[in-house]
Structure 1
């Protein structure tokens, strides 16, 4: 392990020995992963098939569901494969691949919510110009910008990791966390800490600021409108507010873990908290956004049960 050139794989040490419980854990994780994929896939298919849902809000929701499947797939297959592994080894290329998907999905999540918040801002604050501003072409440009921005944030933040030389290969986690991998490198420079702050700013705080700005303007307009319009605005905006709040809490868990020395927190909690976003958010999205809207509920009934 002293020679960095022999490091071709990492050991995910957080799995430990679960004994016979691994079958129970495997079943729970598999069921949860399949539920996430099915719930989000149903929304994607329903929105694609039903032309009445080819509106900016639902197209942006469809993009968000794609990202939920993407981030879940970056974690759960590895978790499932490692449940029955004795060595808990993961190859270096696979570790890098997992990081690419996970840390591209994070800014994509926030940027997608920022795009949806902007859509609600235009719909509520500029209803007469909504069809002109939020036309189909512009919506697809926004989606393209979301993914381009997310990929660029990942490349600018973590591309230096691919050239690191590692002097150890024990990762105290159940997935390839970039901070833990940096700690295993033979030389840790200040660039790694700068990259961490840059990633947090670009993937969380800038999109969160844009989301907050959109809702502040919506709130300002709602103060001057009728009670009925206020209720309608609250109904359409509540899912996003809940989702963004949940994301922000999850980000606090993630960015404080392994960066702050916490000795009184049990290892199991310390390992699960950084995965809070990947565990909860992909399942929260389809139920908070999709199955909460009457038009989507009706479309799902027609699609799944052939009801009118």
Structure 2
């Protein structure tokens, strides 16, 4: 019993975690490195371009575009929390991460995911006001409310995830091998040999408040928008689809990514091929930061035209 207790104590104070989802790629790792690096650079350039376009053009200083700018900043934040460490790990033969950086990554990635959902809910509320109350939009979306709606997703997500990570950091861990290519909260909680009841209850609480509540809110706002849309003319419907289509596509894509993450975290997928597990692991964090700037950049005419104009002026100089 003494030996077992000593072993548990040593394990709980281990200075690193092993990321067990990496496979030995040999020389192919450099090909994967280039592919992942290319994706990361594309994410950085596309999101930065749209942030610059929105900031520099006064015609885009409207609530919807300000919320989109906040969304693109979150994509930059989330991808930077994942890709530099991912690129580093691809080149390593021993895939470990220090305990400190593991918890930092947990905080950053969960913070990104929660912020994404809440900003999406804010965008749906903005579209609801603009389409269902067009004549009252300016009075309903005053400067004070705009500032609150921009700041709220970041402050709310920070508070919720900070408590989540603090609770996890207090656990005694018996193992230090995570079957993913990055650290996430539930993977660390599963390694605990102490009581995780509080963690599970708070984790469920966070999931309900940060995923299900925003999703229910977004569904209800879009039901109202669709009702208003079908009452209007064909031109009105086309205008609604052009502005709401990218947002709906973004919500659906991120919801599917979240579903994949939940399935992989909560269920035993050892029978699933390692490559498929890797794709499921990265879908939520790699696809959305690339998907959003592309879908909004292509679909929103104003943004597309101004982006082309900015790129043309940069190239010509």
Structure-1-length-normalised TM-score = 0.95
Alpha-carbon distance between aligned partners in 2 of 1:193 and 1:8, rounded to the nearest angstrom: 24
The one of 114, 131, 138 aligned to 1:131: 138
Q: State the partner residue of 1:247.
A: 254
> Retained in 2: the 8 A contact 1:158–1:195?
no
Higher mean C-alpha displacement, 273-282 vs 65-74: 273-282
Q: Does 1:229 align with 2:229?
A: no
* 8 A contact 2:254–2:284 mirrored in 1: yes
Distance 1:17 1:306 in 2: 45
The aligned residue for residue 3 of structure 2 is none
2:170 to 149, 154, 163: 163
Relative to structure 1, is the Cα distance of residues 263 and 90 closer, same or farther in structure 2, using a 3 angstrom cutoff?
closer
Q: Within the alignment, does 1:190 sit opposite 2:180 as a pair?
A: no
Residue among 21, 25, 45 paired with 1:18? 25
- Aligned partner (choices 283, 292, 306) of residue 299 of structure 1: 306
The answer to whether the 8 Å contact 1:67/1:108 transfers is yes
Render the CA deviation track for 1:129-177: whole Å, top value 9, x for unaligned.
Answer: 1112223442221011111111122134332012122222111110012
Secondary structure, aligned partner of 1:166: coil
Segment drifting more, 54-63 vs 254-263: 254-263
Aligned-partner Cα distance in 1 for 2:21–2:52: 37
2:11: which partner in 1?
4
1:281 aligns to what SS in structure 2? helix
Q: Distance in 1 between matches of 2:278 and 2:210?
A: 22
Instruction: State whether residues 242 and 299 of structure 2, in contact with CA within 8 Å, keep that contact through their aligned partners in structure 1.
Output: no
**For the residues of structure 2 that align with 1:299 and 1:246, how far apart are their CA atoms?**
26
Contact 2:11/2:176 (CA < 8 Å) preserved in 1? no
Matches within 5 A, 1:112-151: 112-151=119-158
Q: Give 1:102-121 correspondences, 5 Å limit.
A: 102-121=109-128
Q: How far does residue 275 in structure 1 lie from its aligned partner after superposition?
A: 2.2
Whether contact under 8 Å (1:157, 1:198) holds in the other structure is no
Aligned-residue Cα RMSD (Å) equals: 1.6
Deviation at 1:79, TM superposition (A): 0.6
Runs of 4 or more consecutive aligned structure 1 residues displaced over 3 Å after TM superposition: none
SS in 1 for 2:251: helix
Distance 1:205 1:129 in 2: 29
8 Å contact kept, 2:178–2:188? yes
Post-superposition Cα deviations, 1:1-24, rounded to whole Å, max 9, x if no partner, equal 642354111111211211000100
Alpha carbons 1:107, 1:202 under 8 Å: kept: no
What are the ranges of 5 or more consecutive residues in structure 1 without an aligned counterpart? none
Indicate yes or no: 2:211 matched with 1:204: yes
Q: Given the two structures, how large is their TM-score scaled by the length of structure 2?
A: 0.92
**Equivalent of 2:265 in 258, 267, 272:** 258
